[in-house]
Amino acid sequence: METQGGITVQRALELPALRGGLPEVVAGGDRLNRTVRWVHAGEVPNIASLLKGGELLLTTGLGLGTRPAEQRAFVHRLAERGIAALVVELGPRFTRLPASIVEAARAAGLPLIQLHREVPFVSVTEEVHTEIVNGHYALLRQAEEVYRQCTRALLEGGGIPQVLGILADFTANPVFLETADGRLLYAAGTGTGPAAADPLQVWEGLRGQRSAREAGPPSGSVLVDVPGGGHGAGAVRARLVLLAVSGPLLPVHRMAAERAAGVLAVVLMQARQEEELAARGRGDFLTDLAEGRITAEDAPAQAKVLGFRPGDGPLLPVVMRLAPELHPSGNWALLARAVLEELASVGVPVLLGVRPVEGRVPLLLGLRSESERTAVADRVAAALRAGLERAGMAGPARAGAHPPVVVVGVP
């Protein structure tokens, strides 16, 4: 059986070159599912120091030593290095493997194979390496197919939930999209039977096991950054989290998640651009209204199109002006969203826009009565400053910056 990203020792023994050597497994027969990362041939006593782990080591035994203690130490060093298996070709050096070598391999759990017929080691190397490379290409094809499915879903009108659903189906495990600070944005599960895990319950369980990811991700999980957020190149906008609930997560799953992250980065970028364009449009309307370029007769209809539906009470115009060093540098959508979330607690209809060139955030609020103007104005000013902090543009990191100026309209 092949593993993700390589082949097993068992598969290597089935290839023509090694099969022609009449291989006999004399130790570690229950560990032939180990992954072969590479093939190495060598005859020196210190061969273990040249290996990285996962190798199929081919040798005629010249470097194994002549004394049992040397032979046991040789095998022990290979096992410590984590090689996949040791293959010894019988011949002039050994007509059969000494008991010291076999016993040491058994004790270390190291697969040990003896070849009863001479084989060209170069042929073994070529065949195994070709099989490994082909295996990697197969994984790449699987990951690319997931990428194509995600792209097709977007072209057909889908969004982030569809992309996460495709990834969840492929991995047979729940998939989550969270903010850079660990807040859940979307979740997708897999399966519909009674045994299928509810992704939100899984997330709640995960949140109970960690505190702001201080303990690190759960064992066996996969985390992939979705790039493009923040103020600098390479900053993280969000993270894909794959949890091994229904089965293990394999290398191909990470590969697929990395490709899906690229798709999600485009989706989030597009959403932020659309959100910013809408906020700019509202900012243009409010500026034109304040400067008299929109008549009183036309204003209500245009405001309604923009989603502003106040009652019959008075209107309260407000503007927050940012110092140049506080300008969010292309992240006005984040600022607008943070401010709106803070304004939700004020409890009155609000139309909010942005004017990046002037560094202004204009608002129009619908009051229920003239008597609440002062109280609402105070709550709005506090919400604007809180939104600025929430967007990461105030606080200790910006201690040297001038505070924003909030101007509230008068009757």
* pLDDT tens string 89-120: 999 899 999 999 999 999 999 999 999 999 99
pLDDT recorded at residue 403: 74
pLDDT in the model for residue 9: 95
Set out the domains of the chain in order of their start, with CATH numbers. 7-130 (3.40.1390.20), 159-270 (3.30.450.30), 308-408 (3.30.70.1130)
Give the pLDDT of residue 296.
Answer: 83
Can you spell out the DSSP letters for 314-355? -EEEEEEE--GGG--TT-HHHHHHHHHHHHTTT-S-EEE--B
Is the separation of the CB atoms in 132 and 105 below 8 Å?
no
In this prediction, residue 70 carries a pLDDT of 94
Cβ-contact 41, 174 below 8 angstroms: no
pLDDT-wise least confident of 86-90, 229-233, 386-390: 229-233
Residue 232 pLDDT: 45
Residue 265 has a pLDDT of 87
Query: What sign does the dihedral 393-397-399-401 (CA atoms) show?
Result: negative
Beta partners for residue 366, in sequence order: 315
Kindly report the length of the chain: 411
pLDDT digits (tens, 9 = 90+) for 226-282: 886 544 444 667 888 898 888 888 888 988 999 999 888 888 877 777 777 788 888
In the chain, the N- to C-terminal Cα span, in Å, equals 79
DSSP 395: S
> Average model confidence (pLDDT) for the chain?
83
φ, ψ dihedrals at 380, nearest 5°: -65, -45
- Here the tokens at position 272 are 């932020």
CA 186 to each of CA 15, 166, 202, 233: distance values in angstroms, whole numbers, following the listed order = 46, 13, 13, 24
Give 3-state DSSP helix, strand, coil % of the chain, rounded to 5: 45, 20, 35
